[in-house]
Amino acid sequence: MITLWQLPTTTVPISGRLESFPVRRVYCVGRNYLDHIREMQEGSERDDPFFFQKPTDAVVTDGSSIPYPPQTGDLHFEGELVVAVGRAGSDISVAEAPGHIFGFAAGIDLTRRDRQRDCRDLAQPWEAGKSFDHSAPCGAIVHADQAGEILSGELRLSVNDRQRQRTSLKLMIWNVPEIISHLSLSYRLMPGDLIYTGTPAGVAAVEPGDRIDVEITGLPALTVTISEGETHASQ
Ligand code: MN
């Protein structure tokens, strides 16, 4: 039983540091790799990427056991590079954007794909598909100074040791400075913001008992397992 005064704040470990990164907001980019747009067969390949949000407390850390969420029979992984924001700014230029980056992490944008398709078909907001409990696993953050050439590296996601996604991060439609610049036109970015930068092709369903590993060149791996769903009784 958790009472009001014991509500935890959401933090993510920082690699090599005692302090953790406090999460303020979670932004996500949709449609940022052409091969994923093609596999989803939605919209025009010429449509721009766009943004949506997840609740801050949807973030869970490396090693988490994630209960299979309610209201879905089609829970999908989406392996993604996560950018942690370290400096506030609005209307940030592409040239200035790297100065607003605190660091990078491996992440997963968990998606109730059946509910997301409902949202599309009914022209409703995406929350039911994207913004549920435990839907934003995030690995330890590596400070940008220690991260090296992350943005020319590779992302790989495997389920139970079978590789399901693999891409060069260079294949993003909007690269990381462009994402920061576009996002800052609509929202004032603040320290503590996380930005999930979109997923490549290969997304698919997972089941209770599955283990998901995300590896990005130069970053600590992120591993989560899917467990049986919780009941929604009165805890
Ligand atoms: Mn995504």
| pTM (2 d.p.) | 0.95
Q: How far is the CA of 27 from the centre of ligand 1 (A)?
A: 10
Q: Give the whole-number percent of the chain exceeding pLDDT 70.
A: 98
Q: From the CA of 115, how far away is ligand 1's center (Å)? A: 14
| pLDDT exceeds cutoff 50 at 235 | no
**Better-scored residue on pLDDT, 190 or 146:** 190
Q: Which of residues 233 and 101 earns the better pLDDT score?
A: 101
Distance between Cα 143 and ligand 1 center (Å): 23
29 CA to centre of ligand 1 in angstroms? 6
Distance between Cα 198 and ligand 1 center (Å): 5
Ligand 1 centroid from CA 130, angstroms? 9
* Residue 232 pLDDT grade (very low, low, confident, very high; cuts 50, 70, 90): low
Q: Supply the pLDDT for residue 233.
A: 52
The pLDDT tens digits for 82-123 are 999 999 999 999 999 999 999 999 999 999 999 999 999 999
Cα of 147 from ligand 1 centre, angstroms = 22
Q: What confidence tens digit (pLDDT) does each residue in 1-12 have?
A: 778 888 889 999
Altogether, the residues listed in the chain come to a count of 235
Protein residues with C-beta less than 5 angstroms from the ion ligand 1: 78, 109, 199
Read off the pLDDT of residues 176-224 as tens digits, 9 standing for 90 and up.
Answer: 999 999 999 999 999 999 999 999 999 999 999 999 999 999 999 999 9
Query: What architecture is domain 16-227?
Result: Alpha-Beta Complex (3.90)
